Amino acid sequence: MKVIIACGGTGGHLFPGLAVAETLLARQHQVKLLVSEKMVEQTALAALAQGDSGSRWGVQSIPAVGLNGSSQWMRFCYRLAQATRECASIYEEFQPDAVLGMGGFTSAPAVMAGRWRRSRTVIHESNAVPGKANRWVSRWVDHVAVGLPDCAAFFGRKPVTVTGTPVRAGLRRVTGARERLGLEPGRLTVAVMGGSQGAHAINEAMACTLPWLEEWRERVQFVHLSGARDEAFVREVYEKNGMPAQVLSFCHAMEDVYSAADVVIARSGAATLAEIAAFGLPAILVPYPHAAGNHQWHNAQQFERAGAARVLEQTALTTGMHAARGERLGDAMVALLEDEPGRLRMAVAARALAHTDAAARIAGLLEQLGAGNGRAQN
């Protein structure tokens, strides 16, 4: 079977798509990835190309198509038609039996072109509230896969399967992670993450918080994924406060970061949450407040209700007096660091939310649909 996976735009679309690609390749299917031209995706794919999986899937960049207000409607329609034609020309050569869109307006033209060429079409929505692209394109697809049960209600009578959000096979707990990251084995370790490109608000919140953690200076350490723009600033903040930390603009070996961590401070994108659940990590979640449909807040609420995370609104960390901002996050961190039984309970709750077979479920769905296409072959 030949499968197109459109998974560009953000790491939250890319990495779950790669997880499905790995599973399909292991089942002897052919896979081509359609991604955006963003540097963060190209960098991640370049690193993965050095491994076995990355050398066996085809990759092609297509333009992302987004709608920024009603005044841009004509331009959006033109670009969507152009991108759909570009995808269709790719399909002329590849002849896919199925097309999987992982969300975002990179996947919309790919799914539209698949429908036009009578390939089976599936979209995956990983968030509790679906994005605009998936809501719009869902009316034409054969099936919808969702990461969280609450999302199913948004797709009306369309066939929906709750699969969970895929996590790449390489993201598994490993030994020696702290040594590879240059961390000390005996300290409690906090991983601070803002998504694939970092989060300036979280970086600034940590700058306010570190002075409140002075008494923990000999007991805690950090691995902080800052994003490229804030890397120097974040490193300086830790050095100024005498806190041991490994500051990275981006990390290709996230299995090391998760394996080293005792506590995670992170955004609440669905892919990040799926990874936190897979590793069973207690978390402090700071939802991105400008996410479409406030979906990160809804994602985080599911983890908090399950007892796997504590949720802090970004406004609580970025408004008011500098000292107060630091105290709020500092109190949440200390509460977790001091409470080992509490961390263990949160870890168990996080693991209960994991769907370790999500990629296999989606691959099986594609196989089932593709087999009925009349052109599918292994």
Q: What is the C-alpha to C-alpha distance for residues 212 and 91, in angstroms, rounded to an integer?
A: 56
Tokens at residue 70, please?
């009603």
Tokens at residue 99, please?
């097309």
246-281: pLDDT as tens digits: 999 988 899 999 999 999 999 999 999 999 999 999
Tokens at residue 129, please?
């509230």
Which has more pLDDT, 324 or 104? 104
- CA neighbours within 13 Å on the CB side: how many for 163? 29
The answer, yes or no, to whether residue 188 has pLDDT greater than 90, is yes
Q: Which residue segments constitute the domains of the chain, with CATH numbers given?
A: 2-167+356-371 (3.40.50.2000), 177-352 (3.40.50.2000)
77-126: pLDDT as tens digits: 888 888 899 999 999 999 999 999 999 878 899 999 999 999 999 999 99
Helices (H) and strands (E) in the chain, counts: 15, 13
Q: Lowest mean pLDDT of 13-17, 181-185, 196-200, 281-285, name the range.
A: 196-200
Q: What is the C-alpha to C-alpha distance for residues 149 and 190, in angstroms, rounded to an integer?
A: 30
Q: What is the C-alpha to C-alpha distance for residues 187 and 169, in angstroms, rounded to an integer?
A: 28
Q: Give Cβ neighbours of residue 136 (< 8 Å, ≥ 6 apart).
A: 108
Question: What single letter denotes the amino acid at residue 77?
Answer: C
Question: What single letter denotes the amino acid at residue 212?
Answer: W
Q: What angle do CA 287, 16, 28 make, to 5 degrees?
A: 175
Q: Tell me which DSSP letter residue 327 carries.
A: H
Residue 160 contacts residue 152 (beta carbons within 8 Å): yes
Q: What is the C-alpha to C-alpha distance for residues 286 and 60, in angstroms, rounded to an integer?
A: 33
